[in-house]
C-alpha cells in the first residue's frame, strides 16, 4: 500500500489550521492513527489549539521534520479532547512513536513551564472521505 493510500506510515506531518481571517497556518506535528482517526499531543496554550477551538477545519499532509509538506493535503475536522479522553491520544502516540513520544512528553514537561505552554492536550482529527 502506498503512502498516498495510507498516510499513517509517515513520521511527520504538516497541520494547517486557520486564523479568524481565514489565513492558513502550517505547523509540523506528529500524528498517530487509531480506529480511523488521527491523534496528536501538544501544549494546550499553543496557537494551533487556540485556532482549532475557534475553527475546527484543518488540513493535514505528510511532511519532513520541519513541516515542509511532501504529499497532498487532506481536509478534516479537529477537536480538542477533554482530559477524560487524553489517554486515547497518548496511547495512539506511544503505539506509533514509542520511546520518542515518551521522551517528548518528558522534555515538554521539563522544557516548557506549564504556565507558558499550558497542560498538554490531545487533538483528534477526522479526515474527510477521499473521492
What pLDDT digit, counting tens, does each position of 34-53 carry? 999 999 998 888 999 999 99
Q: What is the pLDDT of residues 58-80, one digit of tens each?
A: 999 999 988 999 999 999 999 99
Domains and CATH numbers, the chain: 7-127 (2.30.110.10)
pLDDT at 3 over 50: no
User: What is the pLDDT at residue 6?
Assistant: 45
* Phi-psi category of residue 94: left, alpha or beta, with phi > 0 → left and psi -120 to 50 → alpha: alpha
User: What is the pLDDT at residue 23?
Assistant: 97
pLDDT at 93 over 70: yes
User: What is the pLDDT at residue 24?
Assistant: 97
Q: How many CB atoms lie within 10 A of CB 13?
A: 23
pTM higher than 0.75 for the full model?
A: yes
User: What is the pLDDT at residue 131?
Assistant: 45
Q: What is the pLDDT of residues 100-123, one digit of tens each?
A: 776 767 666 665 555 555 678 899
Cα separation of 63 and 95, whole Å? Answer: 20
Strand order in the sheet with 12-18: 24-29, 12-18, 57-63, 74-80, 120-127, 37-43, 32-34
Amino acid at each position: 500500500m502506498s503512502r498516498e493510500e495510507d498516510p499513517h506510515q509517515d513520521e511527520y506531518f504538516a497541520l494547517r489550521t486557520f486564523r479568524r481571517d481565514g489565513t492558513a497556518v502550517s505547523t509540523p506535528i506528529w500524528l498517530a492513527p487509531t480506529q480511523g482517526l488521527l491523534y496528536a499531543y501538544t501544549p494546550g496554550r499553543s496557537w494551533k489549539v487556540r485556532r482549532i477551538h475557534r475553527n475546527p477545519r484543518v488540513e493535514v499532509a505528510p511532511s519532513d521534520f520541519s513541516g515542509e509538506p511532501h504529499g497532498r493535503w487532506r481536509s478534516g475536522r479537529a477537536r480538542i479532547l477533554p482530559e477524560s479522553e487524553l489517554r486515547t491520544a497518548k496511547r495512539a502516540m506511544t503505539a506509533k512513536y514509542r520511546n520518542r513520544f515518551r521522551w517528548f512528553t518528558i522534555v515538554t514537561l521539563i522544557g516548557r513551564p506549564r504556565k507558558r505552554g499550558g497542560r498538554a492536550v490531545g487533538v483528534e482529527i477526522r479526515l474527510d472521505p477521499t473521492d
